[in-house]
Structure formats: structure tokens, C-alpha cells
Chain A
């Protein structure tokens, strides 16, 4: 199961598994973000290249408008994925 929600504070909360079958759902939520936002990965177990694609596309869109996504609470496996793909350089990741 995958879920993405935008809290009243503007924080985006992800949970479950963001795989290639969930990109539509993820993009539907991410496309509603129009300013800088924190994305909380606390309950996200898994992400694949399809999920990274959604993050990349939205980061590019927001950066062009002068904003950015900031990521927090990535589990160890997901941190590794960000490192292997160089995504740790294109997102600010809060420790």
C-alpha cells in the first residue's frame, strides 16, 4: 500500500511503498504542491526509480519557480538509493 497526504502545515507525508504501480497516485498529490515543502519519509518503506522520477520532476518544476522540496526521515535503504543515484545532491535531506 502507498499513500501520500498533504497536512494542514503543508508537510507532505508518504507511507508504504512507492513503486511503479503508484506513480499516478503520487503525482496527483505532488502536483498540488506549489511552494517549498517538507516531505516526510518516516513511514515510507520503499521507493524505486519510478518514485524517484516523480520526485525529480516535481523538484525541477518547483525549482523553476524558486521553491524546493526538502526531504526528511529517510530510512537507511532509501538513503542508499539517493546516494547511488546522486539524488542526495539534488535534494536537501534533513538528518
Chain B
């Protein structure tokens, strides 16, 4: 299943509707549903904030299921390469006064899925997230 949405935080409602309808059709449990919502939101908002698209092209999101895993693909067009796997990890043990929000989204995304792959060619940036289903 696939959807292309506008590069705008306001597209999140449409993205959640897409995920929820996929989850209910596939009978995914609430834990998996929560994980994929969070993974997609964090990645999508990261793309909207930091990828500077040179065109008005939207961001493509696809969900696909194999026997034992769920594969999520987010593709951004006409952008520079950015591999989120290289993003700096936040220090989650710092006291309140020193805590910052930056970096938490990608940190959470990494906890929500089992593998993160990245492909980049000709301005097309694709992040592939795999969530193993038997672990949940």
C-alpha cells in the first residue's frame, strides 16, 4: 500500500489514517501500530524539517508485509543525501536542566524498528525500515 503526501507537518493526519487503515486491514496489534506510527512520524517530520527539496514533490510512503516482517519505505525526491543512521545519539541520562529535544525523534525511531537501510541515487532518498512481527 502506498501514499504520496505533501511535504508539510499538516500531512500527519492523512499519514496516520493511511497507517491505521493498513493496520486494521492486516490485523496488526496495537504495539506494532504504535511503533509504525511513531517511526513514520519521526522520519517524516525529519524529512520535512531538514531535507531541502528543490521541487514541490511530495514524500512517498509505502507499507508492505512479508510473512515475518513489515517493511516501511519513505522516499523523498530532489534532495541531498542524509543517512539518519549516522545521526548523533542524544544523551538520555542528562539531568532535566541539561536535556534537549533535538535528536530524540531519530533515537526513538531506532527503538521502534529492527533494521534501517538507506538508498540514495539521483536526488532520490529512500529510508527502508523493517519491523519484525514475531517479536511483538
Check if A53 is an interface residue, CB within 8 A of chain B.
Answer: yes
Contact across chains for A60 and B97 when beta carbons are under 8 A apart: yes
CB-contacts of B46-95 with A (<8 A)? 92-95
Q: In the complex, what residues of B have CB within 8 A of residue A84's CB?
A: 92, 107-108, 111
CB-contacts of B4-54 with A (<8 A)? 9-10, 12-13, 16, 30-31, 34, 37-38, 41-42, 45
Check if B1 is an interface residue, CB within 8 A of chain A.
Answer: no
Contact across chains for A56 and B101 when beta carbons are under 8 A apart: yes
Q: In the complex, what residues of A have CB within 8 A of residue B111's CB?
A: 84
Contact across chains for A17 and B16 when beta carbons are under 8 A apart: yes
Cβ-defined partner of B99 (8 Å) among A17, A20, A50, A56: A56
Q: In the complex, what residues of B have CB within 8 A of residue A90's CB?
A: 95-96, 99
Cβ-defined partner of A85 (8 Å) among B12, B34, B92: B92
Cβ-defined partner of B97 (8 Å) among A17, A46, A50, A63: A63
Contact across chains for A52 and B34 when beta carbons are under 8 A apart: no
Cβ-defined partner of B13 (8 Å) among A21, A49, A50, A89: A21
Bound CA–CA A19/B13 (angstroms)? 9
Contact across chains for A21 and B96 when beta carbons are under 8 A apart: no
Check if A59 is an interface residue, CB within 8 A of chain B.
Answer: yes
Contact across chains for B93 and A63 when beta carbons are under 8 A apart: no
Cβ-defined partner of B9 (8 Å) among A21, A49, A86: A21
